[in-house]
């Protein structure tokens, strides 16, 4: 970690010296082909500066600029400015942003004004969405004039195929099949409200500790119908294969007696 930090510091110092040299070159004071080339070189150095700044963790502290803004002492990044790009390592843990929560008790007029972050990433086939917003006013139906106040919340959704996991400050919901348009909404009931004949069809395993508190819920995924049929077709020839009788029993006559 220290080696990477020292290399970044050295590369940034070399970059700043190169940018200072190009910006003070006399060719930029007059028009011409050479001035255009130096201007293009300066723009390319600026792109390199942006790339190196993405690797900085801003651990050296911050300093105030002449304009009154706060900048990193090492890379010069202005604090609070949204970065256009995100740089991630190929190996190891990937970190994007920081954990945010609702930060205002005010009720905003719409969700756009109340949104703190609403970001989505498709990571190795799994989709992760983080939605953090303050309280805002909304309408249940577009034509309705009744305004509702949506509570401030932090919501994390993880999707893997048709399965969706919903996490917020009050709920942890697992959906095995998405609701299709035109279908009736699913029913809901607690386990103690269901009869035993219905519970036999729900492959749910409830986990609890020695004090009787809930610590986890395991749901066994049902086998899709297509895969189930394919499995039955593959297993049926072996199951339905005729069982041949031994040679001694083949000589048994119709009356049940055996030939001598």
- Give residue 237's pLDDT: 56
**Rounded alpha-carbon distances, angstroms, from residue 185 to 65, 178, 179, 180, 249:** 57, 11, 7, 9, 61
- Give residue 255's pLDDT: 38
> Residue 49: inside a domain, yes or no?
yes
Burial class of residue 129, CB neighbours in 10 A (0-12, 13-18, 19+): middle
What pTM value is reported for the model?
0.63
Percent of the chain with pLDDT over 70: 81
> Residue 217: inside a domain, yes or no?
yes
Q: Which structural domain, as residue segments, surrounds residue 126? A: 96-186
Structurally, the chain folds into a number of domains equal to 3
Residues 10, 50, single domain; the answer is yes
> Residue 105: inside a domain, yes or no?
yes
> Residue 40: inside a domain, yes or no?
yes
> Residue 39: inside a domain, yes or no?
yes
Q: pLDDT digits over 70-117, tens only?
A: 999 999 988 878 777 788 888 888 888 889 999 999 999 999 999 999
Residues 179, 228, single domain; the answer is no
- Give residue 242's pLDDT: 54
Asked if residue 133 has pLDDT above 90, the reply is yes
Instruction: Note whether 152 and 132 are within 8 A (CB).
Output: no
Asked if residue 118 has pLDDT above 90, the reply is yes
Residues 100, 64, single domain; the answer is no
Asked if residue 230 has pLDDT above 70, the reply is no
> Residue 192: inside a domain, yes or no?
no
Residues 5, 81, single domain; the answer is yes
Residues 100, 163, single domain; the answer is yes
> Residue 10: inside a domain, yes or no?
yes
Residues 123, 167, single domain; the answer is yes
């Amino acid at each position: 970690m220290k080696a990477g930090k020292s290399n970044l510091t050295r590369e940034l110092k070399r970059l700043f010296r190169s940018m200072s040299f190009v910006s003070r070159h006399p060719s930029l004071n007059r028009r011409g082909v050479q001035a255009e080339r130096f201007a293009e070189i300066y723009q390319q150095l600026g792109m390199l500066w942006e790339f190196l700044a993405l690797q900085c963790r801003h651990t050296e502290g911050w300093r105030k600029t002449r304009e009154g803004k706060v900048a990193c002492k090492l890379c010069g990044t202005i604090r609070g400015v949204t970065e256009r790009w995100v740089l991630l390592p190929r190996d190891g843990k990937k970190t994007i942003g920081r954990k945010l929560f609702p930060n205002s008790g005010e009720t905003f007029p719409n969700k756009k004004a109340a949104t703190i972050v609403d970001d989505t990433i498709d990571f190795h086939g799994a989709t992760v969405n983080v939605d953090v917003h303050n309280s805002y006013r909304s309408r249940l139906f577009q034509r309705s004039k009744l305004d509702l106040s949506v509570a401030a919340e932090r919501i994390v959704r993880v999707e893997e195929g048709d399965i969706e996991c919903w996490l917020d400050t009050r709920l942890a919901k697992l959906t095995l099949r998405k609701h299709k348009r035109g279908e009736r909404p699913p029913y809901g009931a607690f386990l103690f409200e269901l009869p035993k004949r219905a519970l036999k069809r729900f492959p749910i395993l409830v986990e609890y500790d020695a004090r009787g508190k809930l610590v986890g819920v395991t749901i066994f995924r049902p086998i899709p119908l297509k895969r189930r049929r394919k499995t039955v077709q593959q297993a049926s020839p072996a199951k339905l294969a005729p069982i041949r009788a031994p040679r001694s029993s083949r000589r048994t006559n119709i009356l049940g007696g055996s030939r001598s």
